[in-house]
Amino acid sequence: MADFWNDEPTIQSHLSLVSATIEQTVANAHGFIRQVLLDHVKSGGKMLRPALVMITSKLGEHEIHDDAVRVGSIIEMIHLASLVHDDIIDTAEKRRGQATVFARVGAKQAVLAGDFLLAKALVLTSGKERGIDSRVVSSAFARLCESELDQDAGQGNFFISRRNYLRRIAGKTASLFALSCYAGAALQEGDPLVAMRCHRIGYCLGMAFQIQDDILDYTGSADKLGKQTGNDLRCGIPTLPLLYALEAEQEQGNDRLRSLLENVQAPLHPRTVKQALVLTDELGGVQKAQLLAESYKNRAFADIRLLNHPEVERQLTNLFTKLSTRSV
């Protein structure tokens, strides 16, 4: 959580309870992975998903603090499990500047550790989540898994369509953001239209967040990111800046970038990654990706204004602004 929520002490306090819930849940893991998992859950993430649950849970008159903490903990544990599995697929040595679970215990044990987190998330689910449509929850989980499978199956294919990419990140990232915003509002058992509006807000936030994350893979500082820039390229994963650059190159009748990435196998050679990063920037891929991220943000702002709740509007607007200008 670091200092990200210092300007929102109430949210920070609630997220501390989420952290405590997750740590208590993980504390009874097998001794071989207990400390590794504890380090993973304490690794300094922004805890955006449970924060969204807390923020939108204010859209009503009921006192649902305990329910919001529990639901936020469930969603965060699912997210943490997906990170463990991501790092195995990417053979990632570091995340947020620290050794990954994969790097510390190997692929086999890391898979089991991620599965353990998912299982414990299900244990926290009481089956009586007030106001939450189970179909929305199961759909988000299914889309997350499907998107991970699609990305893994297509690893090394840089020439996917923009539509395919957007579908991937909608499942991989936006689905949990949408679920988080929806869940907080749904816990109030109020107007279902408000809950679905929150679902749209979370979806747009997730899309903008992932696009910005993909942009940082091209423009960020390795020291700040806690991992090397160009990591997606190295792993054979095409993201939006590259896809826009390939489109621009095709319009220009050029094929330097396409030729560079044809018939290569992941992991890419560092020299190939460096050349692709430079060409993508020169072709305007990063700039076009930023414009699309901005459009998702503007769509969310339109829905946020319709919530008619000044505090929630302020917190969501500030969060969008912070995330859209972040460098890590």
Lowest mean pLDDT among 108-122, 198-212, 271-285, 293-307: 108-122
Q: Does the pLDDT value for residue 1 go beyond 70?
A: no
- Average model confidence (pLDDT) for the chain? 90
Residue 4 belongs to some domain of the structure: no
Q: pLDDT tens digits, residue range 26-81?
A: 888 878 788 888 888 888 689 999 999 999 999 999 888 899 999 999 999 999 99
Q: Does the pLDDT value for residue 206 go beyond 60?
A: yes
Q: What is the mean pLDDT of residues 228-250?
A: 93
Q: Does the pLDDT value for residue 201 go beyond 90?
A: yes
Q: pLDDT tens digits, residue range 3-22?
A: 899 999 999 999 999 999 99
Residue 3 belongs to some domain of the structure: no
Provide the β-strand partners of residue 99: 94
Q: Does the pLDDT value for residue 225 go beyond 80?
A: no
248 closest CA partner among 286, 200, 199: 286
Structural domains of the chain, count = 1
Q: Looking at residue 55, what is its pLDDT?
A: 98
Domain enclosing residue 152, as ranges:
9-324
Distance between CA atoms of residues 216 and 328, nearest Å: 7
Give the ranges where the chain is alpha helix by DSSP (H): 9-26, 31-41, 48-56, 65-89, 101-105, 107-124, 134-153, 162-169, 175-186, 192-219, 222-225, 231-234, 240-252, 256-261, 270-282, 285-305, 310-324
Centre a 10 Å sphere on the Cβ of residue 50 and count the other Cβ atoms it contains. 31
Percent of the residues in the chain that have a pLDDT greater than 70, as a whole number: 94
Q: pLDDT tens digits, residue range 152-189?
A: 888 889 999 999 999 999 999 999 999 999 999 999 99
Distance between CA atoms of residues 44 and 97, nearest Å: 10
Q: Looking at residue 126, what is its pLDDT?
A: 63
Residue scoring higher pLDDT (292 or 226): 292
Residue 236 belongs to some domain of the structure: yes
Residue 2 belongs to some domain of the structure: no
CATH value at residue 300? 1.10.600.10
Residue 319 belongs to some domain of the structure: yes
Residue 1 belongs to some domain of the structure: no
Q: Looking at residue 129, what is its pLDDT?
A: 64
Lowest mean pLDDT among 113-117, 177-181, 258-262: 113-117
Rg of the chain in Å (alpha carbons): 20
Residue 58 belongs to some domain of the structure: yes
Q: pLDDT tens digits, residue range 118-128?
A: 888 877 776 65
Q: Predicted confidence band at 214 (pLDDT cuts at 50, 70, 90)?
A: very high
Distance between CA atoms of residues 86 and 75, nearest Å: 16
Residue 270 belongs to some domain of the structure: yes
Residue scoring higher pLDDT (155 or 200): 200
- Count Cα atoms within 13 angstroms, Cβ side, for 277: 21
